[in-house]
Structure 1
Amino acid sequence: MSKSERTTDDSEAPEITEPGGTSASTSASGKVQSLERAITLLHATADSAPDGDTASNLAARTGLNRATAWRLLSTLEQYGLVERSPVTNRYTIGFAVARMASVAGFDGLIRRAHGTLRRVSEQTGETANLAVVQQLGLTYVDEVTPPVVLAAKWLGRQVPIHATSTGKALLAWLPAEEAQALLEGTLEAYTDTTITDRARLRAELTETRERGYSVCLGEMERNLYGVSAPVLGSRGRPFAVVSIWGPQDRVPESRFAALGPLARAAADEIAKAAETL
């Protein structure tokens, strides 16, 4: 790091002693400089949505040197406040921010999507749920289950990307290199129908895009079958996934041709409603 960089970014500032004896650098106005810089980076990251930006560009936009910006972003990433794409190294706002600011985050999406999920569940007699895209995967955030149906509760659970129709709907609509990054490591076999061969999975993802929805044949839990469709943003990127699923005896493969278009229509309806967020 050059002397000029140190002077620009790490200028002398008074220190205050925190409870417990630690010290924190403060500006003349009494603000904690490291916290102020981190907040500035968060705002810059939010402004770069939906594609995000690199640490170098965020540093330039906030007036920080790259080393300081990188350290702050690394800390923010550890706490889930920002997320870094393993493919592009671009930073976006993290899932933790959405949880803490849920009124402006997923709660707004859930409110707009819930009526659609309820109608789909009533129409099909099966469970309808919504998963949102986050770092390296998906998390279920809303679910409507018919009152007469005893079904597993998936709220708050992360989605096995390769072993569910939900995950495959995300993979099929992501750029190939991003989908590849999500599939690093061994593809675990949850049941005897889980697809663990990458070539076979790629072929299924191609078929998924062609028909407009994904399917699951008991690949996560042997008795659970279902279909899913992506909720796409203005640039065609998935930011959520709608799923319809149930036990094999009620949702056999023969129902997929009818349920798939319903999931697709529900996803499109939610995408349109989300435009006002």
Structure 2
Amino acid sequence: MSSTLQTLDRGLLALEIVSEHKEGITIAGLAEQLGVHRAIAYRIVTTLEAHALLTRTPEGPVRLGAGITLLASRFEPQLHAVAQPLLKTLAKATRATAFLSIAQGEECVVTLVAEPDEGMLRVSYRVGSRHPLTRGAAGIAILAGRAPQDDDSPEVRQARAEGYSLTRGQLQRGAVGVASPIAAARLRAGIEACVGVVAMDDLDTERAIREVKASARQLAELTGQ
């Protein structure tokens, strides 16, 4: 017998479904994806709306509410606390700069960095650095963690299939980046994140891919994904 609460489970699933629809989703559409009657979907939406986790526009579509941002702001420091030692281990194992990046709008933002104690010429990749999601290993990895879209680039589709992205010279000449989406999905607090490394051309990419994917899996487990 399942130990989960069905109503709570449906509410969380509703949040996940809504998060995957940039333009919002109707209650009828949500009910269909949840596999429930429209009246049940309406009650779920109304309850989540009361907690500012969902909102309905005048036109009707349901979107994520401002409460998600508050949860994300509280979750991010916890994510950093868990990620910091993992990034240090990753930087040491790959002898490259290890990082944690998240999505902010249409940009990828570096929120945590760990440098190797020795080794390769380091790449300038600092906390606060940002670039379009469509460029760089981190951005592509985050896009790969989303549900498939018709307009996904070949790079995103390949990263989704392989569990990691590998780019060369997209953000800095001579730089090689490897990144993997955390849990290949949106974190429960509404944060989309990835872990990765970046170095110059002499990066051992096979080892980097192996270590980055392992770190992403471990971080997902430690954050309850």
TM-score scaled by length of structure 2: 0.66
Structure-2 residue corresponding to 1:121: 91
Once structures 1 and 2 are overlaid, which stretch shifts more, 49-58 or 149-158? 49-58
Pick aligned residue for 2:138 from 166, 186, 193:
166
Tell me, what secondary structure is at the counterpart of 1:50?
A: helix
Moved more, 131-140 or 259-268: 131-140
CA distance in 2, matches of 1:170, 1:106: 16
Q: Is the 8 A contact 1:94 1:135 kept in 2?
A: no
> Residue 210 of structure 2 corresponds to which residue in structure 1?
261
Would the aligned equivalents of 2:123 and 2:198 in 1 still touch at CA under 8 Å? no
Match of 1:216 among 162, 167, 185: 167
Tell me which residue corresponds to 1:21. none
Tell me the residue number matched to 1:152.
124
Q: Match of 1:176, SS?
A: coil
Q: Which residue of 1 is the match for residue 7 of structure 2?
A: none
Give the match's secondary structure for 1:271.
helix
Q: List runs of 5+ in structure 2 lacking aligned partners.
A: 1-10, 28-41
1:95–1:117 Cα change, 3 Å: farther
Larger-gyration structure (1/2): 1
Distance 2:14 2:110 in 1: 25
Partner Cα distance (1:151, 1:221) in 2: 8
Q: How far apart are residue 114 of structure 1 and its match?
A: 1.0
Q: Give the count of matched residue pairs.
A: 183
Partners of 2:146 and 2:224 lie apart in 1 by: 20
Under a length normalisation based on structure 1, what TM-score does the superposition of the two structures give?
0.55
Q: Which amino acid aligns with 1:245?
A: V
Q: CA deviation at 1:155?
A: 1.5
1:175-254 equivalences under 5 Å are: 175-177=147-149, 180=151, 201-202=153-154, 204-232=155-183, 236-237=185-186, 239-248=192-201, 250-251=202-203
Paired with 2:13 and 2:208, the residues of 1 have a C-alpha distance of: 38
Residues 30-49 of structure 1: pairs in structure 2 closer than 5 A: 49=15
SS in 2 for 1:131: strand
Per-residue deviation at 1:209? 3.1
Q: Which has the higher contact order (CA 8 A, sep 6+)?
A: 2
Name the CA shift for 1:90/1:117 in 2 (closer, same or farther; >3 Å): farther
Q: Distance in 1 between matches of 2:158 and 2:15?
A: 30
CA separation of 1:151 and 1:263: change in aligned 2, threshold 3 A: same
Q: Distance in 2 between matches of 1:212 and 1:51?
A: 22
CA contact (8 A) 1:174 1:237 kept: yes
1:92 aligns with 2:64: yes
1:132-171 Cα deviation digits (max 9, x unpaired): 2343343211110124565414312333222201111122
Match of residue 57, structure 2, among 62, 70, 73: 70
- SS of aligned partner of 2:113: strand
Q: Which runs of 5+ in 1 are unaligned?
A: 1-44, 72-88, 184-200
